[in-house]
Each structure stands twice: as structure tokens, then as C-alpha cells.
């Protein structure tokens, strides 16, 4: 199958930021996934370079528009390779071929009778470069920029968009997955059904704006920037004229939610008027927020993707973006949350797995893969889980559910760590059970190769290095996924392995954001998820008992007995447990501390425990912390946990203790 994917073309009136990077990284992940899945792939990105805002930005710099867009477009083009993004094609709307395609499209729609000349008065937002109706304004302000638009009356050309709205409504009903996630299709449908949509003004008089593409039927006007920009998706693959257009169209688009309307309403009606097929999917993602606000230069909360990639590595940064944001929803970006995710998922889970297994293979087997012996039920259970995890991962990635897909893969990663603990290769070696040791190492290495390959779309360099460390003959290439998912075959005996692995070193949280810890969305809050990257925890992070050889994190701070007496640590029984409805890493527990009521405590252990298995267990908790609200729920204490090779574990007692028993 041919797979054509586009990002938005980015407006070059300002430097690239995290939102641009996220869109393009997601597109790169989608391209790599579809390549593994056997598709012939073409990924398009580029820059949008016409309109009022470009002229104003160039004037502010004392530059001509063309010189300005040349410089700014180069910044976008140069950024993508530094983030390990592989782009097949980069388009600029100032390209001559694009201009010809836009004029051909305009002429085709004009010849169909769908463009007319008329006079119009409306509220014009220069930030959005579009007219708003009274109903669309919020308290008289532009809903995007929260500024008061200027009322402008002028003669312009209009596209008969209203003519195609009944068809568009029917199309969205017949193709329920044409816009993903579903809530954005419903939002687009609501726009169509509202009765507020009018014909689209598609020109600007040259008396007001000259920086644009001339209308082919009236050189006194230039094309509206959105009508011009959308056509890039087909001009980049040779329309009109066949060629790649006939091979790759229809494709699918990836956009942020703020440009839903142009892509869900304008673009399909334009294509219908021109007699062209509509895209397969419009994939819509949410905003990355900083301090709960959309990023903007004026608020001073813009995150530099290049800085994050340099500081933590591109693979870790890419993983965080895909894992932290549930595609379609908003997510908070916090450097403390990034560090926490790196330490918990990459260092503790994945990195620990690779280093443990390869180090044991070096000590016990001379870094040479042994033959596989008899597979016991607990070994085939790992093979079955690997198959299930991979199938879930693939289905979720196809449906742009990346966070859930990675979680499905991490179910396997965590299971492999637990399998290592339970099978204890060190004990098998000591007891001389070489055949059983060979089987256990075979199971681990076979599953680890699959994990490494499935990490490749998100973490290309790290995944390639993992495969190299495994001595794997599998290469990420077109169609590899089906071969790897097909079986749980014996890992080739005699393969030479790396003696160890240190792909994901633990990170320290930035000083400015060291406490309190972040919850699943990066939003700060007390009593939050365990923070494996911080020394000493701090109020708001679940404290850990850390082994003294754990990368230096066993450092202690002297305290007196009087300091310890200030801590009200008690034993309680969990009576109910469930996942937090708004934070995927938090569990909500109701715990009996013998107080005549149940305390609600939130804890970031959802990745380590099934809530159903916790009911009836006794835990230790620190109770004399002030109540804190976390994602609309109040936590009245902090359960204590310990962290080791097996992951995060709840602190408990070795026998029944009356609820409310004091730890002293």
C-alpha cells in the first residue's frame, strides 16, 4: 500500500517551537511505523510563506518578505534532521511549482462556477488572517488571539463553500474515521450543522496586500493564504499532471486542533469542487501547554525542542512526547515530568532490562547466545504476552493512539523484568542448571529483540543500538514488522552479545523544577507520582528505599530522632482502589487507618500495580501532610514505596497489624 502523510506547513512569522516539533515527530513516527508495516511511504512537510503576518514580521526586521521567508524557512528545514526526523519532501508556498498548482486549482474551481465576486463586511483578525462572524467571536474578541478584530468592508472573491456543506455532512457520516479522534469529527459536524458557516472569502485586494499568489482570473487580487496553503498537499506530489499524485493521493493529514476548521471544512469542500478525492484521515492532536497555558512568546513559556533534544537526547525526548500526550488531548510540558518519565520508563524499565540481561550473559555465558531448551508454561506465557503486546501496539499505532500503544509495549518490558527476577539466572548458573539457564536467556533475548524493533519508530537511534547490542540480524526496514510478529523462534545460538548496556542513564531533575513532582500530565502537585530522578524525594514525591549501589542515589541526610518523631507514619488497609480518571499514572485508594473513616490517598503507582490486586493489602503511609488537590481529587497522605530492580514496591509489614498502627 502507498502511504502519503503530511504535517501542517508551518507559518514562518516566528521560530519553530515545541508544537511544531511535536507534529513533525509524530509524523516521523507514523512514517516509520507504516514503513515497518510494509507500506511505501512519503512524508511531506514545509512552510507557509504568504499573508499579512509575513509582511509585518519582515517589516519589523527591516527585511523584504522574500528574504525573510528564505531565512525562516531554512530554520524549519534545518531543525528536523537534528531531531532525527526523516522527511521525504519539503515544500514552500513560494515555490514556482506550488504557485502554478494554486492558480490551476483556482481556475478549475472558477470554471465550475464556484467562485463569484461580491462585497463583504466582516470582523478581520490579522493574527488569524481571516474574517469572523459575530457568532464566532467570544465577547467581541477573536477566540484564538483574544484580540478585538478590525471591521473591514471590501470587494472580494468568494468560494461557494455553502454549496458543498450538505455533501460534507453526508461524507462525515459515511466515513466515521475520516477525522480522528472521534470528538474532532463531532466538532466539525457541529460546525456544519450550526448554520453559521458561510461562503469563504478567498482573495485579498492588492491595494491592501501584494505578498501572495495572483488570482489567474483577476491580477488585482492575491489568493487568501489558507486557500493557497491547503493546496500544498497536492501541489507537492505533482498535481495537476498525474505522476506521484496518481500514486499517493488520497493521503492523510496530521494537524493541531487550532486548524481543524480549515482542514475539516475548507479543504474537503475545495477538493469536492475541483472534482478530486478527499483525504483518507485527518488526524488531530491537542496542545502542549506550559504552566497550564498554551505556549506563546508573550507569556514567556515557549519550550525549545532543540534544547530538550540536546539536554536529554532525542530518543528520550521523542519518547516522552509520544508517551505523555494522549493523542487528541492537551498535555502539560514540564521538564520535571520529562526527567521522571526518562528515569521510570527508560532507565528503570527498559534500560535496566537490557543491562541486566546482557551483563548476566557476559558473566555466565561469555556473551554468546546458548541454544534453547525445553519451554515450560511460564516461558510460553512470555511468548504469548509478547504476541499480545505486539498486536495491541500495532493496532493502537494504526489508530494514532501512541501513548496507549507504548503502554502496551511496556507491559511486556515490565513482564520481562519480573520474569528475570522470578527465574533468577544467577541462581541457575550457581546451581549448574545450564539447560534451564539457556532457555531463560533465550526467552529474554527473543522478546528483547521484538521490543527493540517496536521502539524504532519512536526512538530510532536507541532502537538501532539495542539491536546491535543483541547482535540481531533484524533491521528496521519495509515489511519487517510482520516477520518479527509471526513467531517466537529460537534466538540464533552462537550470536555474540554486547557485554552490557547503558543507553538510558538516569537524569537529575532541573533545579528550578525539582519539587514538587509532576503528575501524569506534567502538572505540578503534592503527593504525586514516584520521582526516580530526584535525590531525597521532597514533599510531594513518594519516598523510596533505594539500594546503596543504585547509581549514587542512596545518599543520606543526617536527621535526629526528634525529626523522625515529627512524621506520622501509620499502617492501614486498602479498602478500595481504582485509576484516577484524569491521570493515567495515578491510583486513587481508600485506606482504613482506624480513624472511623476511610482516607483517600493518590499515588503514582498505576504503572506498577493493578488496582484490583491492592484491595485488602496493608501499606505504610505518611499522614501528617496537608491535603493536596491533584487533577480535581484531594489526597490526604502519601503511601510509601521502595524501588529496586523489580520496580516500585509498596512498603508493608510482615504480618497483620491493627489499622492505625504507628511506625516508630
Confidence check: pLDDT of 524 > 70: no
Where is pLDDT greater, at 480 or 625? 480
| pLDDT category of residue 656 using cuts at 50, 70 and 90 | confident
**Count of other CB atoms within 10 angstroms of residue 642:** 18
- Condensed to tens digits (0 to 9), the pLDDT of residues 554-589 reads 333 455 676 777 788 999 999 989 999 888 889 999
> What residues act catalytically?
17, 20, 125, 128, 142, 145, 294, 297
Please give the pLDDT value at position 154.
86
Please give the pLDDT value at position 411.
97
Q: How far apart are CA 136 and CA 60, in angstroms?
A: 30
418: left (phi over 0), alpha (psi -120 to 50) or beta: alpha
Kind and range of the H or E run holding 319: helix 314-324
Please give the pLDDT value at position 304.
75
Confidence check: pLDDT of 409 > 70: yes
Confidence check: pLDDT of 642 > 90: no
Please give the pLDDT value at position 242.
76
Q: How far apart are CA 534 and CA 300, in angstroms?
A: 26
190-204, 458-472, 498-512 — which is least confidently predicted?
498-512
Please give the pLDDT value at position 532.
32
Say whether 120 sits in a helix, a strand or coil.
strand
Q: How far apart are CA 401 and CA 219, in angstroms?
A: 46
| pLDDT category of residue 553 using cuts at 50, 70 and 90 | very low
* φ, ψ (nearest 5 deg) of residue 332: -85, 135
Kind and range of the H or E run holding 125: strand 115-125
Determine the average pLDDT of the residues in 249-273: 97
Q: How far apart are CA 664 and CA 660, in angstroms?
A: 12
Please give the pLDDT value at position 189.
97
% residues pLDDT > 90 (the chain): 69
- Condensed to tens digits (0 to 9), the pLDDT of residues 66-101 reads 999 999 999 999 999 999 999 999 999 999 999 999
Please give the pLDDT value at position 143.
83
Of 113-122, 157-166, 236-245, 500-509, the range with the highest mean pLDDT is 157-166
Q: How far apart are CA 293 and CA 291, in angstroms?
A: 6
Please give the pLDDT value at position 658.
83
Q: How far apart are CA 406 and CA 389, in angstroms?
A: 9
539-543, 607-611, 624-628 — which is least confidently predicted?
539-543
What's the DSSP call for residue 366? T
Confidence check: pLDDT of 139 > 90: no
DSSP 399-414: TT-HHHHHHHHHHHHH
| pLDDT category of residue 544 using cuts at 50, 70 and 90 | very low
Determine the average pLDDT of the residues in 201-225: 95
Please give the pLDDT value at position 295.
59
Neighbour-count burial of 581, counting CB atoms closer than 10 A to its CB (0-12 exposed, 13-18 middle, 19+ buried)? exposed
Determine the average pLDDT of the residues in 120-124: 79
Output the nine-digit C-alpha cell for 507.
537524569
Where is pLDDT greater, at 610 or 476? 476
Give the chain's domains with CATH numbers. 309-485 (1.10.730.10), 525-650 (2.40.50.140)
Please give the pLDDT value at position 561.
73
| pLDDT category of residue 514 using cuts at 50, 70 and 90 | very low
Output the nine-digit C-alpha cell for 392.
495491541
Please give the pLDDT value at position 351.
96
Cα of 544 vs its chain's centroid, Å: 28
Determine the average pLDDT of the residues in 253-276: 97
What's the DSSP call for residue 333? -
| pLDDT category of residue 629 using cuts at 50, 70 and 90 | confident
| pLDDT category of residue 542 using cuts at 50, 70 and 90 | very low
* φ, ψ (nearest 5 deg) of residue 219: -80, 5
Average predicted confidence (pLDDT) for the chain = 88
Where is pLDDT greater, at 428 or 532? 428
Confidence check: pLDDT of 25 > 50: yes
Say whether 197 sits in a helix, a strand or coil.
coil
Contacts of residue 219, Cβ cutoff 8 Å, sequence gap at least 6: none
Please give the pLDDT value at position 649.
85
Please give the pLDDT value at position 550.
31
- Condensed to tens digits (0 to 9), the pLDDT of residues 286-320 reads 998 876 666 555 555 667 777 888 889 999 999 99
Please give the pLDDT value at position 205.
94
Determine the average pLDDT of the residues in 500-507: 92
Output the nine-digit C-alpha cell for 92.
514552500
Confidence check: pLDDT of 646 > 70: no
Please give the pLDDT value at position 302.
66
* φ, ψ (nearest 5 deg) of residue 502: -140, 55
Determine the average pLDDT of the residues in 9-22: 90
% residues pLDDT > 70 (the chain): 89
Confidence check: pLDDT of 659 > 60: yes
Contacts of residue 515, Cβ cutoff 8 Å, sequence gap at least 6: 534, 538, 539, 540, 541
Please give the pLDDT value at position 535.
30
Amino acid at each position: 500500500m502507498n502511504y502519503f502523510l503530511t504535517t501542517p506547513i508551518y507559518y514562518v512569522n516566528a521560530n519553530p517551537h515545541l508544537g511544531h516539533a511535536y507534529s513533525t515527530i509524530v509524523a516521523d513516527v507514523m512514517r516509520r511505523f507504516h514503513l515497518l508495516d510494509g507500506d511505501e511511504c512519503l512524508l511531506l512537510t514545509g512552510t507557509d510563506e504568504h499573508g499579512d503576518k509575513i509582511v509585518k514580521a519582515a517589516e519589523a526586521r527591516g527585511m523584504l518578505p522574500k528574504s525573510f521567508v528564505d531565512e525562516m524557512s531554512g530554520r524549519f528545514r534545518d531543525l528536523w534532521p537534528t531531531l532525527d526526523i526523516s522527511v521525504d519532501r519539503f515544500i514552500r508556498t513560494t515555490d514556482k511549482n506550488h504557485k502554478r498548482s494554486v492558480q490551476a486549482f483556482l481556475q478549475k474551481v472558477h470554471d465550475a462556477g464556484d467562485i463569484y465576486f461580491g462585497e463583504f463586511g466582516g470582523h478581520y483578525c490579522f493574527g488569524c488572517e481571516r474574517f469572523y462572524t459575530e457568532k464566532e467571536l467570544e465577547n467581541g474578541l477573536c477566540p484564538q488571539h483574544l484580540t478585538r478584530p478590525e471591521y473591514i468592508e471590501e470587494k472580494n472573491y468568494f468560494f461557494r463553500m455553502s454549496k458543498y456543506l450538505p455533501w460534507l455532512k453526508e461524507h462525515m457520516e459515511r466515513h466515521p474515521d475520516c477525522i480522528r479522534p472521534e470528538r474532532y469529527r463531532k466538532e466539525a459536524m457541529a460546525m456544519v450543522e450550526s448554520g453559521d458557516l458561510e461562503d469563504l472569502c478567498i482573495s485579498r485586494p492588492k491595494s491592501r496586500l501584494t505578498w501572495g499568489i495572483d488570482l489567474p482570473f483577476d491580477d488585482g487580487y492575491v489568493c487568501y493564504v489558507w486557500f493557497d496553503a491547503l493546496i500544498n498537499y497536492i501541489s507537492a506530489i505533482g498535481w495537476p499532471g498525474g505522476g506521484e499524485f496518481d500514486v499517493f493521493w488520497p493521503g492523510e493529514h496530521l494537524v493541531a486542533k487550532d486548524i481543524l476548521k480549515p482542514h475539516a471544512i475548507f479543504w474537503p469542500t475545495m477538493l469536492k469542487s475541483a472534482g478530486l478525492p478527499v483525504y483518507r484521515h485527518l488526524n488531530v492532536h491537542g496542545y502542549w501547554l506550559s504552566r497550564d497555558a498554551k505556549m506563546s512568546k508573550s507569556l514567556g513559556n515557549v519550550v525549545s525542542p532543540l534544547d530538550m533534544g540536546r539536554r536529554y537526547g532525542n530518543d528520550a525526548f521523542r519518547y516522552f512526547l509520544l508517551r505523555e500526550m494522549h493523542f487528541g488531548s492537551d498535555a502539560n510540558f514540564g521538564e520535571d515530568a520529562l526527567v521522571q518519565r526518562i528515569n521510570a520508563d527508560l532507565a528503570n524499565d527498559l534500560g535496566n532490562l537490557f543491562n541486566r540481561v546482557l551483563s548476566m550473559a557476559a558473566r555466565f555465558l561469555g556473551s554468546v547466545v546458548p541454544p534453547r531448551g525445553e519451554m515450560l508454561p511460564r516461558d510460553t506465557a512470555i511468548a504469548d504476552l509478547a504476541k499480545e503486546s505486539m498486536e495491541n501496539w500495532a493496532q493502537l499505532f494504526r489508530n494514532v493512539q501512541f501513548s496507549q500503544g507504548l503502554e502496551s509495549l511496556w507491559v511486556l518490558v515490565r513482564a520481562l523484568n519480573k520474569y528475570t527476577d522470578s527465574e533468577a539466572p544467577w541462581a541457575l548458573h550457581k546451581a549448574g542448571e545450564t539447560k534451564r539457564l539457556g532457555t531463560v536467556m533465550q526467552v529474554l533475548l527473543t522478546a528483547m529483540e521484538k521490543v527493540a524493533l517496536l521502539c524504532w519508530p519512536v526512538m530510532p537511534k536507541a532502537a538501532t543500538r539495542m539491536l546491535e547490542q543483541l547482535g540481531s540480524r533484524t533491521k528496521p526496514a519495509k515489511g519487517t514488522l510482520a516477520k518479527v510478529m509471526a513467531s517466537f523462534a529460537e534466538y540464533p545460538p552462537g550470536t555474540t552479545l554486547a557485554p552490557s548496556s547503558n543507553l538510558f542513564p538516569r537524569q537529575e531533575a532541573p533545579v528550578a523544577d525539582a519539587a514538587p513532582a509532576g503528575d501524569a500530565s506534567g502538572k505540578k502537585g503534592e503527593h504525586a507520582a514516584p520521582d526516580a530522578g530526584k535525590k531525597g524525594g521532597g514533599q510531594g514525591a513518594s519516598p523510596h528505599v533505594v539500594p546503596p549501589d543504585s547509581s549514587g542515589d542512596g545518599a543520606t541526610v543526617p536527621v535526629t530522632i526528634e525529626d523522625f518523631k515529627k512524621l506520622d507514619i501509620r499502617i492501614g488497609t486498602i479498602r478500595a482502589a481504582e485509576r484516577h480518571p484524569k491521570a493515567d499514572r495515578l491510583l486513587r485508594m481508600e485506606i482504613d487507618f482506624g480513624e472511623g473513616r476511610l482516607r483517600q490517598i493518590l499515588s503514582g503507582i498505576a504503572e506498577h500495580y493493578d488496582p484490583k490486586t491492592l484491595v485488602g493489602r496493608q501499606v505504610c503511609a505518611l499522614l501528617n501532610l496537608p491535603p493536596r488537590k491533584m487533577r480535581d481529587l484531594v489526597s490526604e497522605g502519601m503511601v510509601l514505596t521502595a524501588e529496586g530492580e523489580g520496580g516500585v514496591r509498596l512498603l508493608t509489614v510482615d504480618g497483620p497489624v491493627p489499622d492505625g498502627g504507628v511506625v516508630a
